[in-house]
Amino acid sequence: MRLKDKVILVTASTRGIGLAIVKKCAEEGARVYMAARNMEQAQEIALNHAGFTADQVTNLHGDFDVDDGVPEYEVGFFQDGWEYDYTIHADTGDILEYDKDND
């Protein structure tokens, strides 16, 4: 694995060859950052599900991962002492998992 522990930024990464590059690099152990609007869409899905807007939360963040061949966005944020974590399917936008913990 030549990409293990490498950091890679992929632009135009939501479809086609860009998405294929993201998936392959993540599978080979790289930490991949996507420069694309789909991360914003994943964050919006999580915020809408929780009933908030970006202005109402703090530390809104996200990351991309491939878990057992499934491309996923990990989205998290904080609101009024609660931590929200979401796993969102990168292709379909479906919420695969979510959790809410009181810090």
For the full predicted model, state whether its pTM sits above 0.75: no
What pLDDT digit, counting tens, does each position of 49-83 carry? 999 999 999 999 999 888 888 889 999 999 999 99
Helices (H) and strands (E) in the chain, counts: 2, 6
Residue 75: the pLDDT is 97
Is pLDDT above 70 for 30?
yes
45 vs 51: CA distance, rounded Å: 10
Residue 36: the pLDDT is 60
Residue 86: the pLDDT is 97
How big is the CA angle at 33 (ends 32 and 37), to the nearest 5 degrees?
135
How confident is residue 32, by pLDDT bands cut at 50, 70 and 90?
confident
SS3 content of the chain, % helix, strand, coil (to 5): 30, 45, 25
> What domains does the chain contain, in order, with CATH numbers?
7-102 (3.10.450.40)
